[in-house]
Amino acid sequence: MFNYKNLKKVLFLFQPETAHHIAELGLRVLPKCRIAANYMTNRNFVNDARLTQEIFNVKFINPVGLAAGFDKNCTMVNAMTSLGFGYTEIGTITPRPQDGNPKPRMFRYPNKNSVQNAMGFNNEGAHTVLKNLQKVYPNVLPIGVNIGKNKTTPEEYALSDYKTLIKKFEKNSDYIAINISSPNTPNLRDLQNEEFITALFEMAKELTNKPILLKIAPDMQPQAAINLCKTAVNAGAAGIIATNTTIDYDLLPNCQDFGGLSGEVLQDKAYEMFKAIAQELFGKTLLISVGGISTAQEAYKRIKAGASLLQIYTGMIFEGPSTVKNINEGILKLMQEDGYSHISEAIGADLK
């Protein structure tokens, strides 16, 4: 329908956050334009039995999901099949509405296919997002809900914020992801400690049977990250999402000195952290890999390292609406070359 290279030239004339709002508007309108939506779904959505998995008693038609941060307020869910996604994760959502950090707070680095963001959990708050979610859930695609504490909530009351959010969203989600790893809320990463994680997941177990996952940062020492993930799983976590954005600014010379880096510059760091965690926890919990994935080769590498599911965001900004289709078709081709008849045979192949 269009050439994304040309569209990208136009979008990149705008500030990144403005371009995001333009994209959001388009994706909110798209499902109402049946012809266009069906065309894009037929073009981009890969529905192949070899990629289908049953996870959390829910059918994931393909393993590539949209990472949290793109659809903060649950306004674009019905457009996700048109982009080819097998599932989506909304948020991060806080109990009360939050404006986020001062602008400008998002920066592109096209020569590195990377983005830096310091958004700060800007969202319309749990009440409004839940109303949006109830309009689209249940959905043909699984929907995860990513939750975080408000910036103004003191650390000693953080557990209360997560309790409020779990109770609010557990009936209208397929899983909930706990975000204590964003670098853009002051002191949030301080909650990445075993005492808080144990208390959090023990509380969550009493509140719901819904799968609760932990999303971790890539900037911890690997052994500390492994220990934290083990603690979470032992306390009841249903899975680990690795990783969030990085504050390792040495990865990108001349970048800002605040916010988190995502995209190509995060690729190796995210893979190494995921690999370390998978070597300890593969087969014991669900593992989702995110960070710097934009090609089938990288996606397949994560799958063989132990990822049952994947998430992307930044790669789509630079590669366009066909990104997910290209990844899924590429995974099928690589599976065939390795002699695998189903994705389950490839998952963790490097660890077997």
Catalytic residue among 82, 173, 182, 289: 182
Q: Of 116, 103, 81, which Cα lies nearest the Cα of 259?
A: 116
DSSP for residue 291: S
Question: Is the bond preceding residue 231 a cis peptide, omega within 30 degrees?
Answer: no
Alpha helices in the chain (DSSP H): 4-11, 16-29, 34-44, 126-134, 158-169, 194-207, 222-235, 267-281, 296-304, 314-319, 323-337, 343-346
What distance in Å separates the CA atoms of residue 315 and residue 302, rounded to the nearest whole number? Answer: 15
Asked if residue 62 lies in contact with residue 51, where contact means CB atoms within 8 angstroms, the answer is yes
R_g over Cα of the chain: 19
Please work out, in degrees rounded to the nearest 5, the angle formed at the alpha carbon of residue 155 by the alpha carbons of 149 and 158. Answer: 40
What is the identity of the amino acid at 25? Answer: L
β-pairing verdict for 239-242 and 212-216: parallel
Clarify whether 294 is annotated catalytic: no
As annotated, the active-site residues are: 182
